[in-house]
Amino acid sequence: MVKNDNKRFLVGDRRLSLKELYAAAPRVQGRNRNILRLIRTELVPGIPVTVVFVRHRSKKNEWLGLLSTDLTLEASDIIRIYRMRWDIGVSS
């Protein structure tokens, strides 16, 4: 999960915060209403990433950003892997 801190993402020649990246990312159309937006971009040092924005479970007005450096993964795979890791972290 991506914290909304001072990380910057490159979109074109602009450096965006996570909140600005959410606004710039295109909406995802499809059957899964929990996936809000998806964007392939770069972290400021030039690392290519995929960021998936999903609906917050308990706060429906809010979203969470999930980041993956594996550009071959689909949004659903990124969410599935995050969910497995979250379950491990919570149960430990």
55 CB-near residues (< 8 Å, 6+ apart):
33, 34, 35, 36, 62, 63, 64
Displacement of CA 65 from its chain's centroid (Å): 3
Q: Measured between alpha carbons, how far is 22 from 46 in angstroms, rounded to an integer? A: 19
Residue pLDDT, tens place only, 42-55: 998 889 999 999 99
pLDDT of amino acid 88? 59
- At 57, phi and psi to the nearest 5? -60, -50
> pTM of this prediction?
0.86
